[in-house]
Structure 1
Amino acid sequence: MTSSAPDRAERERRRRAAERLGDLMPSTTSDETDEGWGERGTTSRDDEYLRDVPPHHG
């Protein structure tokens, strides 16, 4: 089965674009990690209370 000229041209265009732009999407997004979700290894109850203080008590 042979490829038509437009198919080859499109593949070449995509190859050049990928070569210039690189991988634009990270393999793992920030939504897929625990980073930033407040998971801490060791927390005390005092730390939890201090984080939950209302702004007007700051």
Structure 2
Amino acid sequence: MGIYISILCLVKMHINNIKIEEFRNLKDSQIEFNEGVDAISGHNYTGKTNLFSAMSLL
């Protein structure tokens, strides 16, 4: 028998822009985001996942 605690934390964060230098295949990239919904699209192996990986480090 154990005690389990669940904590739900809702945080709203807006990123205006991000500058990435020498992260995986993203070399000196600067991206500006709009308020609301932005779409990230591109061909395979162009860095979309690496962008989200870099943002998760913030």
Same fold (TM over 0.5): no
TM-score by length of 2: 0.24
More helix by percentage? 1
More strand by percentage? 2
Q: Which has the higher contact order (CA 8 A, sep 6+)?
A: 2
Is the radius of gyration larger for structure 1 or structure 2?
A: 1
